[in-house]
Chain A
Amino acid sequence: MKYFPHTQDDIEQMLSVAGLKSMDELYGEIPEQLLFKREFALPEAMSEVEIRSFFDTLGKKNSQLVCFAGAGVEDHYSPSIINPIISRGEFLTAYTPYQPEISQGTLQYIFEYQSMICELTGMDVTNASMYDGCTATAEAMMMCVAAAKKRNKVLLSATVNPRVRAVVETYAKYNGVVVETVVEKDGVTDLADLQAKLAGDDVAGVILAQPNFYGIIEDYSGVADMCHSKKALMVMNANPSALAVLKTPAEWGADVACGDGQTLGIPMSYGGPYVGYLACTNALVRKLPGRIVGSTTDVDGKRAFVLTLQAREQHIRREKANSNICSNQSLMALYVTIYMSLMGNKGLKEVNKLSYAGAHYLAEQLVATGKCTMAFDKPFLNEFAVKTTVCPKQIQAALLQKGILGGVRIADDMLLLCVTEQRTKAQIDMLVETIKNI
């Protein structure tokens, strides 16, 4: 077996040094009835040739579709140089930078990641990354409750992605946090309902989305004041790619920003790995879970980077911890750091411009077919909901026949469609044509 270096001779010598006569003696103390004696019901070992052909066969059972789906996962362009860099063994096969003297590579890219996330969100500080946008939002909820000390209620807008809401609600259920939903009106958060639900002076935080689940860019004017006057924190789950052009969580007055970094060029990979981000104001830094990297100097005065504020963390705080997160999603943080370095401000703006143009063209064309109407009359970036006169299931089935993933069905008469810079006019026209012919 190519992963095991032991020759029979090695084994005998090593056993002898360990004072043992046989391999079985290594498990001599284990009660007999616990030992596993039969063969595993697993396939026999495969060679690389067989492995490749095995996954080729499986891969061909998946369809390759032109993607018009979004709902939190978008089909953006992934630059060619990222994979080779993150595949370098020095990055790929390292662990958490416990020994900073030989982990400056990891520590520095996390520092760069943190700097870039703060630039996009406008927030003061961020951690070294989270698992995904859903769990990052759940952690944001826990931060609100920890910061408020005696309050355990959090308000969650109905316009937040349902997958994010489901995870927030799961964490809340077991942690004892009460989650109340702020209702939606015409596709956006009903601010009157928000105000009413804040009136009890018992809310620790309010969780909102930008753009929201329907792709709508919500107007949160006055919301920060509304929250802060009731001593509630404002949390904004925002698409980081869109923040190159949209008003930032900081500009809206949010205390915490969170979301999923998948839109920063990460392949869709059937749901992961992606990377969550979680950022906040300086006032909340001690409530921020996870690893944080800071700059410092070594004994010779050389600039260096190190894990800092570690006393907040789960392994120290144990049962007093507000979060149990240990590591981060480091390699994916490197992924988006390289992406943001390549794109820069101009590239990210360009991505948004192209996606915006394609999405608005598609919306216009769909309405022109007579089979769809815009579900909401609100500004959007690259994703929008349409009401359909034909059953969306039927539309999606027809599109599937043409090799198109026709958005996400979000109601019995509603489709959510997303366009990225990767969608060509020909692809959009084919989608429109197919719907027209139903």
Chain B
Amino acid sequence: MIRNYDKLIFELSKEGRVGYSLPKNEFDGYCMCSGIPAGLKRETTPELPEVTEFDVVRHYTNLSNKNFGVDTGFYPLGSCTMKYNPRINEEMASHPLFTSLHPAMPSEAVQGALEVYYNLAESLAEISGLSAFTLNPYAGAHGELTGLMIMRQYHIQRGDLKRTKVIVPDSAHGTNPASAAVCGLEIVEVKSTANGTVDVEDLKPLLDDTIAGIMMTNPNTLGIFETEIPEISRLVHECGGLLYYDGANLNAVLGKCRPGDMGFDIMHINLHKTFSTPHGGGGPGDGPVGVRAGLEAYLPNPQVKKDSEGRFYLHTDDNSAGSVSNFLGNFGVIIRAYTYILTLGRENVKMVGPLAVLNANYVKESLKSEYYLPIEGVCKHEFVFDGLADKSTGVTTLDIAKRLLDYGYHAPTIYFPLLFHQSIMIEPTETESKETLDEFIAVMKKVAKEAIENPDVVKSAPHTTPVRRLDETTAARFPKTTYKQMKG
């Protein structure tokens, strides 16, 4: 059976086979043997596979059959916005008139590429209500770090050197504090209220002249909109700090409200979430960072600008926070996101958020008798259950997640946010139909019923996947991370 395929590419190797063809050597008399001193050459031979092209095609096709993607089925992974990834985006990104460009090409020879970059940056600024965007950061976490660098650079340029703390809600994703730490900022945690939003009373005493800013996402990780954001914005700005918007949840409000209008100064966007570029098994994504007017100079170098005659050029700004990437980010991902925006157009961009929110509320309301909903009310693009409503079964969130795999679904995000012990975070996205959601709802109910009637089948799930539950303890105690280590 296909799904039982279990070879490593190394195990297909046979001495003498080749998988490449290269041009003939047109240059006689130039040999590394004499041209490079022996002491600079490698002593050992790298043990790479020796396989044919067809071996490689079959091997990776077989591996792909052991994978689950958005194309395979419903992928309600909370906080990850696993929406449909259109193929026209891929086609445009592999356009040879773009893939052939070297980053050192002079601006006059890459006007088309610069225009794509510039236009996407402008579109994102319009959609988010900010002034300017860089597309250079490679991922959400990278955008976050870049945004915090901009925040620090703003204070440094003002000569305000004592602002070295950043406020992070206790419900925040772990990446927020990690980014702050890497950026040399001390983390101050602000508590959440019972309904999961930032506690303004708890925030007030934290605000002083050592605060560089606050990191928030809105809606927050529970899918709850922070309605007190105007007040939070006033308070933080009054103390001299800046507001950072983690764009992880931007899909919730896309077309309905804009971070810039909420009072945020800096934000990042995950193109691979909100703007439909594929997650690729964990990258490449792209993490554009936007800033309000007055902070543009601090964006990372190089910056793409347009002159009065409509020509695009690269600009290096002395006040910039610095360089954070090799060049202009994941350009291929930039093309994809721009294609998506053009395909949607102004009339459809504004429907993304509402339909995503509709889907989330529909699933939430349909399941809240079987699963415990700790925070009632209208959610945004995602919501969190705290395990089963029936707490007597002994069936955990992990078990439910694994059982869903048997039924052909990817599991939701589990054990996050940390505010609850048995978090199940569900984000359906706007590209799923009512029928898909109805089937998922039916399966979730069935699993809840199984948990009561036949808990063992849930606790020992999955049963039908290519492999079953894994021994993670041995993997971590005695790490074998290469073929060589595995062979021993």
A associates with B: yes
Closest to B480 in A: A295
Scan A320-362; emit 1 where CB is below 8 A from any B CB, else 0.
1111111111111010011011111111101111101110110
**Interface residue? B42 (CB, 8 A):** yes
Closest to B466 in A: A104
Which single member of A6, A52, A273 contacts B332 (CB below 8 Å)? A273
Question: Which residues of the partner chain A approach B465 to less than 8 Å between Cβ atoms?
Answer: 101-102
**Interface residue? A438 (CB, 8 A):** no
Number of interface residues of B (CB under 8 A): 197
Assembly CA distance A268 to B485 (angstroms): 33
Given A48-B88, A88-B61, A95-B282, verify A43-B480 contact (CB < 8 Å). Answer: no
Taking a contact as CB atoms under 8 Å apart, the answer to whether A112 and B10 are in contact is: yes
Question: Which residues of the partner chain B approach A283 to less than 8 Å between Cβ atoms?
Answer: none
Given A99-B410, A425-B27, verify A244-B102 contact (CB < 8 Å). Answer: no
Question: Would you give the shortest CB distance from A129 to chain B, in whole angstroms?
Answer: 8
Taking a contact as CB atoms under 8 Å apart, the answer to whether B324 and A167 are in contact is: yes
Which single member of A3, A29, A246 contacts B227 (CB below 8 Å)? A29
Taking a contact as CB atoms under 8 Å apart, the answer to whether B483 and A112 are in contact is: yes
Scan A237-281; emit 1 where CB is below 8 A from any B CB, else 0.
000000111111001000000001000000111111111000000
Taking a contact as CB atoms under 8 Å apart, the answer to whether A304 and B467 are in contact is: yes
**Interface residue? A291 (CB, 8 A):** yes
Question: Which residues of the partner chain B approach A99 to less than 8 Å between Cβ atoms?
Answer: 68, 401-402, 405, 410-411
**Interface residue? B200 (CB, 8 A):** no
Assembly CA distance A309 to B475 (angstroms): 8
**Interface residue? B258 (CB, 8 A):** yes
Which single member of B94, B110, B284 contacts A332 (CB below 8 Å)? B284
Question: Would you give the shortest CB distance from B385 to chain A, in whole angstroms?
Answer: 16
Taking a contact as CB atoms under 8 Å apart, the answer to whether B482 and A273 are in contact is: no
Question: Which residues of the partner chain B approach A244 to less than 8 Å between Cβ atoms?
Answer: 42, 46
Stretch of A114-122, A190-198, A228-236, A366-374 on the interface side: A114-122
Scan B446-488; emit 1 where CB is below 8 A from any A CB, else 0.
0000000000000000100111111110111001111111100
Question: Would you give the shortest CB distance from A82 to chain B, in whole angstroms?
Answer: 9
Closest to A61 in B: B112
Closest to B115 in A: A58
Question: Which residues of the partner chain B approach A272 to less than 8 Å between Cβ atoms?
Answer: 138, 284, 325-333
Taking a contact as CB atoms under 8 Å apart, the answer to whether B60 and A109 are in contact is: yes
Question: Which residues of the partner chain B approach A200 to less than 8 Å between Cβ atoms?
Answer: none
Question: Which residues of the partner chain B approach A128 to less than 8 Å between Cβ atoms?
Answer: 282
Taking a contact as CB atoms under 8 Å apart, the answer to whether A329 and B256 are in contact is: no
Question: Would you give the shortest CB distance from B314 to chain A, in whole angstroms?
Answer: 11
Stretch of B181-189, B201-209, B235-243 on the interface side: B181-189
Question: Would you give the shortest CB distance from B155 to chain A, in whole angstroms?
Answer: 11
Number of interface residues of A (CB under 8 A): 202
Given A99-B410, A271-B329, verify A292-B282 contact (CB < 8 Å). Answer: no
**Interface residue? B163 (CB, 8 A):** no
Taking a contact as CB atoms under 8 Å apart, the answer to whether B257 and A36 are in contact is: yes
**Interface residue? B389 (CB, 8 A):** no
Question: Would you give the shortest CB distance from A378 to chain B, in whole angstroms?
Answer: 10
**Interface residue? B159 (CB, 8 A):** no
Given A81-B57, A272-B332, A324-B141, verify A315-B178 contact (CB < 8 Å). Answer: yes
Closest to A252 in B: B40
Given A71-B104, A170-B321, A324-B141, verify A40-B127 contact (CB < 8 Å). Answer: yes
Taking a contact as CB atoms under 8 Å apart, the answer to whether A69 and B6 are in contact is: no
Taking a contact as CB atoms under 8 Å apart, the answer to whether A273 and B330 are in contact is: yes
Question: Which residues of the partner chain A approach B329 to less than 8 Å between Cβ atoms?
Answer: 271-272
Scan B358-396; emit 1 where CB is below 8 A from any A CB, else 0.
110110111000000000011000000000000000000
Assembly CA distance A309 to B106 (angstroms): 44
Taking a contact as CB atoms under 8 Å apart, the answer to whether B322 and A170 are in contact is: yes
Taking a contact as CB atoms under 8 Å apart, the answer to whether B18 and A347 are in contact is: yes
Query: Chain B CB within 10 Å — which of A23, A29, A105, A114 has the most?
Result: A105
Taking a contact as CB atoms under 8 Å apart, the answer to whether B344 and A105 are in contact is: no
Question: Which residues of the partner chain A approach B8 to less than 8 Å between Cβ atoms?
Answer: 108, 111-112
Which single member of A26, A337, A338 contacts B378 (CB below 8 Å)? A26
Question: Which residues of the partner chain A approach B138 to less than 8 Å between Cβ atoms?
Answer: 131-132, 135, 272-273, 329
Taking a contact as CB atoms under 8 Å apart, the answer to whether B322 and A33 are in contact is: no
Taking a contact as CB atoms under 8 Å apart, the answer to whether B281 and A334 are in contact is: yes
Taking a contact as CB atoms under 8 Å apart, the answer to whether B358 and A170 are in contact is: no
Given A14-B358, A17-B365, verify A40-B126 contact (CB < 8 Å). Answer: yes
14 pairs from A and B in contact (CB 8 Å cutoff): A1-B348, A3-B343, A14-B362, A45-B344, A59-B97, A85-B64, A108-B8, A116-B46, A163-B323, A217-B36, A298-B468, A314-B174, A325-B141, A421-B23
Q: Identify 10 new A-B residue pairs, CB closer than 8 A, beyond the known A243-B46, A319-B177, A337-B9.
A: A34-B257, A36-B256, A55-B339, A62-B111, A124-B485, A174-B148, A272-B328, A294-B481, A350-B22, A353-B31
4 closest pairs, A vs B, by CB?
A45-B345, A59-B97, A89-B71, A170-B322
